[in-house]
Amino acid sequence: MRTSIIRSERMAISYDVVNGWTVLEVDGEIDVHTSPGIRQAVVELLGEGHRHFVLDLCFVPFLDSVGLGTVVASTKRIREREGSLRIACPSGRLLKVFEISGLHDAYDFYVSPEEATVEAPSADGLAHWPHGEAGA
């Protein structure tokens, strides 16, 4: 059952738990105006005990450098809790932002949230971040 965390004119953030993963669905642009909402959602969910995340970008048409910084900052918070982060549905445009920033190899990207949640989270989570998983 999807639970809404933030709903505004510019963005909606909701989550669902699937196979041990907290799938955080973002609907809207991730920029200087909306990034604080993502940060707030991750902090709230970590506070509730969630550790393994899939950031669902299926409904995100735009990601700027501030938004990318929010993804990195959120990753660091998740790593501090020995959690995991996967990114689902990045469009070609969003992947380009990760490539230009040099962060493409630091994340595991999946075509869909369903693909990202097929396997349950592993015990090592983000232990190797920002260098990606061995063999990934």
Q: Tell me which amino acid residue 122 is.
A: S
Cβ–Cβ under 8 Å, residues 52 and 81: no
> Which pTM was predicted?
0.89
According to the model, what pLDDT value does residue 91 have? 92
According to the model, what pLDDT value does residue 124 have? 76
Cβ–Cβ under 8 Å, residues 24 and 78: no
Cβ–Cβ under 8 Å, residues 3 and 18: no
Contact partners, residue 75, CB within 8 Å, separation at least 6: 85, 107, 126, 129, 130
Question: pLDDT means per 10 residues in the chain (136 residues)?
Answer: 82 96 97 94 96 97 95 96 94 93 94 96 76 45
